[in-house]
Amino acid sequence: MSSCPRVLLVPVSLLAVFFCALSTVGSAQVSHSEQVQIKPPLLRTIDPPAPDATASDLEARAEQLRREKLYLDALDYYRAALAKEPNSPSLLNKIGITDLMMQRNREAKKWFDQAIKVDRKFADAYNNRGVALYEEQKYGAAVKDYRRAIAIDGTSASFFSNLGAALFAKKEFEPAVAAYEHAVELDPDVFERTSRGGVQAQLPSPGDRAHYDYTVAKLYAKMGFSDRSLEYLRKAMEEGYKDFKNVYKDVEFAELRKDKRFVELVATKTPALPE
């Protein structure tokens, strides 16, 4: 009889270990909310291109899929169209844009290179290759491509806007401002839209973004677009533009300083200035 208690000790101990393990798992699960989960890879979700479809139909379908952000499916359709029109610089460029949207810069540049090889006067391909280079922080090379695009087509506001972004990233502020001013002259809405036919560069750092917003505010004020100028001044203020105090002396803001909304804006929050 004396051995019975020792027999009972085994399952009790195991039970204790079991509940302890459950407790540990439960506490580990609580911390999962603070962990990062990698997104699953992009998947193809659309039926493959029909072999008898025309190149134009395939391209139209690819455009729709790209707008829906179904990039891999769009690539399938673009490539099927390219198989029917292998020397189309437009299709080569659009495949590059789709790769660029998936942050596949190396692949994108190859497609833009091919488009340029087919058509040396294809301004969009130079611009888009410039964006791929910009994303790789190769700002000098990006500037060269933007200038090539502008030399071919000087009527695109996006080209000048992208050039301004690359020059800003290089800290070449005066030529950057000149490029932005030309962009606004061509299209006052250039900073409000996202390019659909090409790609628009984005500024790399919060400091550059604040400086950019202040510069755009100055350009809009100079052109008499008070509402837009105030909008960008607000952004520059919220982002802590270090030289925001210049708003009281820059001649471009002379008329805007008479606007009651300007007075209300600068009174809402004192921008954080460096010591």
Report in angstroms the alpha-carbon separations of 86 from 13, 91, 113, 114, 256. Answer: 73, 9, 14, 11, 54
**Looking at residues 43-49, what average pLDDT do you find?**
76
What is the per-residue pLDDT across 108-159, written as a single tens digit (0 to 9) for each? 999 999 999 999 999 999 999 999 999 999 999 999 999 999 999 999 999 9
Given this model, what pLDDT does residue 192 score?
75
| Nearest CA among 225, 226, 238 for reference residue 262 | 226
What tens digit of pLDDT does each residue of 72-111 get? 999 999 999 999 999 999 999 999 999 999 999 999 999 9
What pLDDT is stored for residue 40 in this prediction? 56
Q: Which has more confidence, 29 or 95? A: 95
Residues with Cβ within 8 Å of 76's Cβ and at least 6 positions away in sequence, in order, are 44, 46, 48, 49, 62
Both tokens of residue 44? 């193809």
Predicted model pTM: 0.73
